[in-house]
């Protein structure tokens, strides 16, 4: 879908009817566009728009570059921040002349948030550079919200990990569930970190583009502020990653302890019943001359001896703290 936004006194407003490249058009938004829409924008603005495959290139030179008079920037953006499982998608920003072109195959709420904000400060979004900075600010705000929610979940998990109690079966089941939860939060943290790192590289490139385009002092200040915000988010994500690794080690350690406890119980049981087994084996031999074979109290004596040996073994290991 191709949408062209114009800078008006009421903020950013989409064109009605057939899209056309007017003087007031500052933002051309391509949301999951058709091949014809991409071709029309390329021919009108004389630029090359990256394909979905080119958007996913991992080299910095393939994501951040200048082609003619156009500055092309691709970042991995975190969206569905309000959803329990945020996802990421590539978004390409192209500054060409006084216009901004965006290419995306997802609909992050940050885009609608930017449009809503423009209604309150229309004078700020009178150029493609201003729209881009406002979009990035909204994306950073939404990413911060997602990271804060992930941190809240990690803190809750931290309390749960060290409060696991109950019978061995229920405890093992709870630890298994905690292990899955920690793994899920680790995956979300990795996605958030990837997005933040991508935005940080984009802002660094954008600061150079702003100097080349002789952007206003206010615009450069906003870019530096956004870069500092992204840097603080990156530090926060690193802290969360370390905490998740700690929780993962703790859960795995507790699972290992529970497994060792189960093994210890079987080991002690085997040791406790070893002497009675030996006594039963002796009196179960098929020798003709066994002193107690014809003794009236031989059978009760053998049973009592086995119980006594098992009891003494149990008391010994109990005092040792194994039981």
Answer whether residue 113 shows pLDDT above 60: yes
Three-state DSSP class for 26?
strand
pTM of the model: 0.76
The answer to which of 13-22, 140-149, 162-171, 292-301 has the lowest mean pLDDT is 162-171
Question: With pLDDT > 90 as the criterion, what percentage of the chain qualifies?
Answer: 6
| Residue 308, C-beta contacts closer than 8 angstroms, at least 6 positions apart | none
pLDDT at 103: 92
Encoded tokens for 272? 């406790």
Residue with tokens 């953006």: 77
Rounded mean pLDDT of the chain? Answer: 82
**Which of 147-151, 260-264, 317-321 has maximum average pLDDT?**
147-151
Q: What is the mean pLDDT of residues 133-153?
A: 87
Encoded tokens for 243? 């905490």
CATH of 273-320, one of 3.30.420.40, 2.40.170.20, 1.20.58.340, 1.20.200.10: 1.20.58.340
- CB contact at 8 A, 24 and 17: no
- CB contact at 8 A, 89 and 195: no
- CB contact at 8 A, 145 and 188: no
Q: What is the mean pLDDT of residues 80-89?
A: 70
- Alpha carbons 243 and 248: distance in angstroms, whole number: 9
pLDDT digits (tens, 9 = 90+) for 123-138: 567 788 888 888 898 8
Class of the domain covering 2-256? alpha beta
Question: With pLDDT > 70 as the criterion, what percentage of the chain qualifies?
Answer: 93
Q: What is the mean pLDDT of residues 106-114?
A: 82
CB atoms within 10 A of CB 315: 12
pLDDT digits (tens, 9 = 90+) for 272-290: 778 788 878 877 777 777 7
Q: Where are the domains of the chain?
A: 2-256, 273-320
Q: What is the mean pLDDT of residues 292-298?
A: 76
pLDDT at 225: 93
Q: Among candidates 63, 68, 50, which has minimal Cα distance to 205?
A: 63
Q: Among candidates 103, 108, 90, which has minimal Cα distance to 45?
A: 103
């Amino acid at each position: 879908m191709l949408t062209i936004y114009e800078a008006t006194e009421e903020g950013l407003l989409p064109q009605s009817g057939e899209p056309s490249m007017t003087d007031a058009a500052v933002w051309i938004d391509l949301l999951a566009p058709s091949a014809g829409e991409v071709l029309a924008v390329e021919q009108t603005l004389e630029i090359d728009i990256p394909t979905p495959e080119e958007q996913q290139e991992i080299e910095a030179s393939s994501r951040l570059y200048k082609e003619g008079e156009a500055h092309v920037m691709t970042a991995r953006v975190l969206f569905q921040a309000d959803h329990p499982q945020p996802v990421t998608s590539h978004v390409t920003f192209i500054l060409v002349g006084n216009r901004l072109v965006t290419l995306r195959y997802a609909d992050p709420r940050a885009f609608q948030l930017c449009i809503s904000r423009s209604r309150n400060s229309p004078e700020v979004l009178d150029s493609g550079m201003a729209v881009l900075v406002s979009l990035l600010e909204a994306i950073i705000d939404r990413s911060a919200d997602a990271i804060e929610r992930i941190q809240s979940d990690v803190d809750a998990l931290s309390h749960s990990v060290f409060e696991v109690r109950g019978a061995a079966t229920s405890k093992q089941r709870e630890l298994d569930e905690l292990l899955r939860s920690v793994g899920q939060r680790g995956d979300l943290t990795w996605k958030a970190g990837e997005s933040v790192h991508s935005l940080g590289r984009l802002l660094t490139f954008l600061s150079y583009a702003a100097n080349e385009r002789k952007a206003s002092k206010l615009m450069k200040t906003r870019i530096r502020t956004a870069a500092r915000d992204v840097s603080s988010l990156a530090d926060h994500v690193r802290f969360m990653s370390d905490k998740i690794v700690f929780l993962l080690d703790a859960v795995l350690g507790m699972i290992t302890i529970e497994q060792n406890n189960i093994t210890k119980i079987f080991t002690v049981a085997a040791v406790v019943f070893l002497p009675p087994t030996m006594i039963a084996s002796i009196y179960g031999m098929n020798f003709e001359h066994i002193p107690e074979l014809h003794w009236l109290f031989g059978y009760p004596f053998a049973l009592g001896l086995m119980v006594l040996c098992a009891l003494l073994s149990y008391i010994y290991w109990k005092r040792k703290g194994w039981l």
